[in-house]
Structure 1
Amino acid sequence: MRYELFYWTGIQGRGEFVRLALEDAGATYVDVARDQGDGVMTRFLAGEQPGALPFAPPFLQAGKLVLAQTPNILAFLAPRHGLVPSSVASKCFALQLQLTIADLVGEVHDTHHPIAVDQYFEDQRIEARKRAASFRTQRLPKFIDYFEQVLARGDGQHAVGRNHTYVDISLFQLMAGLDYAFPLAMHRLRRHTSRLRLLSERVAARPRLAAYLASSRRVPFNKDDIFRHYPELDDV
Structure 2
Amino acid sequence: PPTAEACTDFLCSFSANPKNRRKGVTRARCHGNQFCRNTAKKIMVRVFVNHVDSYTGRELSKVLAGSVVGAIAEEKENGDEADSKPPPASDQADDSSNRYQVVGTVREEDAECPGWVQEIVQTSSRDELLAVLMSCDIIVYHIVDGAGQVEEASWAIQVLHDQLSVISSQKVFVCVSSVLTWARSKPLDPEEPDIAFTEEDYRRRRPHPNFKEHISAEKLTIKLGKTVT
Q: Fold match, TM over 0.5? A: no
More strand per residue: 1 or 2?
Answer: 2
More helix per residue: 1 or 2?
Answer: 1
Which protein has greater RCO, CA pairs closer than 8 Å, 6+ apart?
2
- TM-score normalised according to structure 1 size: 0.32
- TM-score normalised according to structure 2 size: 0.33
